[in-house]
Amino acid sequence: MMKHSIACLCALLALVALTACSQNISPRPALPAVGHPEPLPQGRPICSDCHEVPMKDSLKSYAVLDHTATFVKDHRFAAASEAGTCAVCHKESFCNECHANYVEVKPSTLHGDRPDRDLPHRGDYLSRHKVDGRLDPASCYRCHGRTNNEKCVTCHRH
């Protein structure tokens, strides 16, 4: 196994070395380099700051996609009908860091350097999840599925 991980690391370092001299920057890896034609300011974008006319195909006001805290919490409504617009700025991996069946680390660990993001399960969640889970189990099934993943099965039958 050590061999595997060393091989992985070597491949990575080779890639890094190959590209280190390149000046092509994409500082937010989960956002595609092409897509949105205008550079966005730091943080969550407020679309209606720049977009005054409605969206081309759906004619909705851009304000419905303003990335306010409410939008971030309730983005499932926008995602259900505007998935194509999300893809202008977000790679699918951006969504799948939080939404996946089989994820290696919880999003708040993967991006532990980004406390300003709204990532699931801050702090140690294994003990604290019993409360949230009992309060609203349906909300957990959205991501964990009715049939839990490998880690949950250690303690939960199904």
Partner 1 sequence: MKRLAGLAPLLSLMLPGFAFAADLNVDGTTLLRIEERSAPGFSKQTVAPATQFLGIDATDVGAKGLSFHLYGWGRADLADKSAGDEKTDANLTYGYVKYRKGFPNAALIGKAGRFFVFEGIINEQVDGAQAQLILPQGFTLSAFGGVPVKLDRSSNTKGDLIGGGRLGFRYGGIIDVGLSGLHERNAYLDTMARADRQLVGGDIWIAPHRMVDITGRSSYNATTEDFAESSSNDNMKSYGGSLTYSAFKPIEIFVEYKHFKRDVTGSADKFGGEIRASLLDGALNPGFGYRRVSSSSTGSIPSYNEIRAFASYAKGAYSASVDFITDLYDKQFYGTDSDYAYELSGSLGYRISPVVHLSGDLSYGANPDYKDQVKGLVRLTFSYSTVKGAPQ
Name the binder of 88 from partner 1, ligand HEC, none, CB < 5-8 A by kind. ligand HEC
Query: Between 117 and 136, how does the x/- string for binding to ligand HEC read (CB under 6 A)?
Result: xxxxx---xx--xx-xxx-x
Contact 93, 30 (CB under 8 A): yes
Residue 151 contacts partner 1 per CB under 8 A:
yes
Cα 17 to Cα 4: distance, rounded to the nearest angstrom: 20
Distances (CA, A) of 55 to 64, 85, 129: 10, 10, 40
110 is an interface residue for ligand HEC by CB under 6 A = no
For residues 146 and 158, what is the distance between their CA atoms, to the nearest angstrom? 8
Residues 41-100 that bind partner 1 (CB under 8 A): 41-43, 54-55, 57-61, 63-64, 68-71, 73-74, 76-77, 79-81, 83-84, 91-93, 95-96, 99-100
Question: Nearer to ligand HEC by C-beta: 9 or 26?
Answer: 26
Query: Does 61 engage in binding with ligand HEC (CB under 6 A)?
Result: no
CA distance 12 to 20: 12
Question: Over the Cα atoms of the chain, what is R_g?
Answer: 19
User: Which region among 1-9, 10-18, 19-27, 44-52 touches ligand HEC (by CB under 6 A)?
Assistant: 44-52
Mask of contacts with partner 1, 14-43, x by CB under 8 A?
Answer: -xx--xx-xxxxxxxxx-xxx-xxxxxxxx
Stretch that binds ligand HEC, among 3-11, 13-21, 45-53 (CB under 6 A): 45-53
Q: Can you tell me the distance from the alpha carbon of 133 to that of 153, in angstroms, rounded to the nearest whole number?
A: 15
Q: Is-contact 156 150, C-beta < 8 A? A: no
